[in-house]
Amino acid sequence: MKRFTVCLSLMIALFLSFEKTKAQSDVLTLDSCYRAARTVFPGISQLSALSEMHRLALENIRAAFLPKSTFTASAGYQSDVTSIAVKIPMVSIPSMSKDSYKAYVDVNQLIYDGGASRARREGQQVQHAVDNTQVETDFYKVKEVINDLFFSALLGRKMKEQLELGLSNLTARRQIAASAVANGVLLPAQLEIIDVEITAQHQRLVDVDHAIDGALQMLSVWIGKPLSTESRLSVSSISEAVGTRNNIRPEQALFGLQQKRLQHLSDQTNARIMPVIIGYGQAGYGRPGLNMLLNEFDSWFLVGIKLQWTIWDWRQTYREKSQFRLQEDIINAQKQSYDQRIQAQLVAVESDISRINDLLKLDGQIISSRERIRLTAVSQFENGTVEASDLVARTNEETQARINYEIHKLQLIQYQVKYLTVLGQQ
């Protein structure tokens, strides 16, 4: 019996632990929304393709120093050939055939390219980083949308809680008023005033429900998970971060990478006017061979090395480098505009955080006062010294005060999250 009790206790503990873990996994947080959104964000699927493109590009760049070979075959006929008109006694000089045939293989080996391959390789590395960072920049915009939808749903639910609390108070007052009407103590018109306000309260709840559902459905699209009004959302208070303006958003890295890419493009342009050394070889078979006086099929080969140097390019390099400098000026201007916009956003959010903190300090006082006023109105209504409309007004005022308090608490967290998101720390 004792063993059975122990086993049963263990089974119950395991079941409760499983249920607790399952409940925790069902709770939707901002971080879980970010993770889910990342898995369905179309841009993330580009990362594997970008990596493969980067690998292929590097292989092509490395292939520049591999031998390149071509095979050529030709046959031709010419109207005249070289001949020697002088006749030498006892010497027979053969005449050349007017038809010719040739098949040969050319092999070229790049020995030195003036640093062009190195510049292309480093430029490709930077381009790959630019592409990846651009994807992260695009995803960061999705995070901002998720923040707005997430807090819209939470704020809607807080409003709904307080509206339901106010409705509960009105329903309780209606029961008292209905009893008073039945006993002839209260006029039916007073009961009707409460009934109208209860209907209006239901109408407000309908609006809030639709707003919550709309925010959840849009959030569902972004995170790729089905959500409903039963979905649990959770957000916790975060540490105060106002004043720490350390911007680590991906846009910051993107500007730096774009400037670095321009530098590598400029290096590639410089490399085009540097000397290039190429080794070459040719082997073939045909008529005539290298000996033009031998009028028969013959094989041959030749090897050598050559230097190519563009000594004048009609200022093409100068103009291209001027374009890169102008592009760098444009990027600097874009970065300054971005920094200005971020600073303005931070100032605005800091102002909102300060405002909400001040409002929260007053919310508690307002709620206490509204609650005392409502309780007084309830007592006066029960004694018949105030009308139902006054009671409804006092109830609504307290409900609104509580709604404001809950909204302000959530808004404080929302603005703190927004502050961190603007800086790339969320």
Question: pLDDT at position 243, please?
Answer: 56
Which domain CATH number covers 254? 1.20.1600.10
Residue 14 lies in a domain: no
**Tokens representing residue 401 in the block:** 């005060």
**Tokens representing residue 398 in the block:** 């307290």
Question: pLDDT at position 220, please?
Answer: 94
Question: pLDDT at position 4, please?
Answer: 44
Residue 362 lies in a domain: yes
Residue 72 lies in a domain: no
Question: pLDDT at position 242, please?
Answer: 58
Quickly list H helices, 27-89: 30-40, 46-62
Burial (CB count <10 Å: 0-12, 13-18, 19+), residue 37: buried
Spatial neighbors of 93 by CB under 8 A, at least 6 apart, are 84
Listed as ranges, residues in the chain with pLDDT below 70 are 1-25, 86, 91, 93, 239-244
Residue 169 lies in a domain: yes
Number of domains into which the chain is organized: 1
pTM of the model: 0.76
Domain range for 231: 120-275+318-423
Q: What is the C-alpha R_g of the chain?
A: 41
Question: pLDDT at position 239, please?
Answer: 64
Question: pLDDT at position 8, please?
Answer: 46
Residue 225 lies in a domain: yes
Question: pLDDT at position 165, please?
Answer: 81
Question: pLDDT at position 357, please?
Answer: 92
Question: pLDDT at position 178, please?
Answer: 86
Residue 354 lies in a domain: yes
Residue 55 lies in a domain: no
231-255: b (≥16 Cβ within 10 Å) or e? bebebeeeeebeeeeeeebbbbbbb
Spatial neighbors of 345 by CB under 8 A, at least 6 apart, are 422
Spatial neighbors of 18 by CB under 8 A, at least 6 apart, are none
Residues 340-397 have pLDDT tens digits of 999 999 999 999 999 999 999 999 899 999 999 989 988 888 787 777 778 788 888 8
Residue 283 lies in a domain: no
DSSP classification of residue 94: P
Dihedral sign computed on CA atoms, order 121, 123, 126, 132: negative
Q: Give SS3 for 234.
A: coil
Question: pLDDT at position 13, please?
Answer: 44
Burial (CB count <10 Å: 0-12, 13-18, 19+), residue 285: middle
